[in-house]
Structure 1
Amino acid sequence: MALRNVPFRSEVLGWDPDSLADYFKKLNYKDCEKAVKKYHIDGARFLNLTENDIQKFPKLRVPILSKLSQEINKNEERRSIFTRKPQVPRFPEETESHEEDNGGWSSFMRQLSPQESRT
């Protein structure tokens, strides 16, 4: 069995017995699938197998299951130190229409009379 593409430990910890059984079904381990359903073994319990739990699985599968459990426990989700931030546009688009832009002085502008302009 090639132990590639094992799920992340954090993911398996959240699995209920049905999810773990589905995983064994995908691996074509129908005998393990039955044991998981019968004994209600969830993901957290599978990752911390006790001697009592191991005895519930077929003896021929025990070495493979132990190895699988170890590999999943090692497979922590890697988080980068430098997380990517969503890019923010440097120049936001204008949302308002400025068809008649008078520099903001439109309400203050009026025609000066000739006498007012001389003073």
Structure 2
Amino acid sequence: MSADLPLVLVLDDDDDTAALLGMALRRRGFRVVVARSCEEGRARLADSAVDALVTDVSLPDGSGIELVASTENKPRGIIVVSGFGGDDDREKSRAAGAHAHLVKPVDVARLVSTLNELLGRPG
């Protein structure tokens, strides 16, 4: 049964944020794998059937937005999370291929509803 649950890659170098998002998503019926760098995120995307990506913008070895832009086989749902939510920030996320841009601190209910919508799951 758990293999039928959507797999979400949470890409964030902040341990607390990654743990909080991972725990919240697991409780709401997602499988979660966490990566803490662009390099690790690329590896996870390459070797896992990831359904959705939730990525921070600022990572120790690059930008989550650049990772999204450079990913060839993009997950069905891509959400960028950032401390900035201006029109320019949102447009950069969209231009890279993200489906949504959420501002930190992330509202978990909004994150879950956005993921459900992107993945075609009932809310």
Q: Greater relative contact order: 1 or 2 (C-alpha under 8 angstroms, separation 6 or more)? A: 1
Q: Same fold (TM over 0.5)?
A: no
Bigger strand fraction: 2
TM (norm. structure 1) is 0.25
Q: Greater Rg, structure 1 or structure 2?
A: 1
TM (norm. structure 2) is 0.25
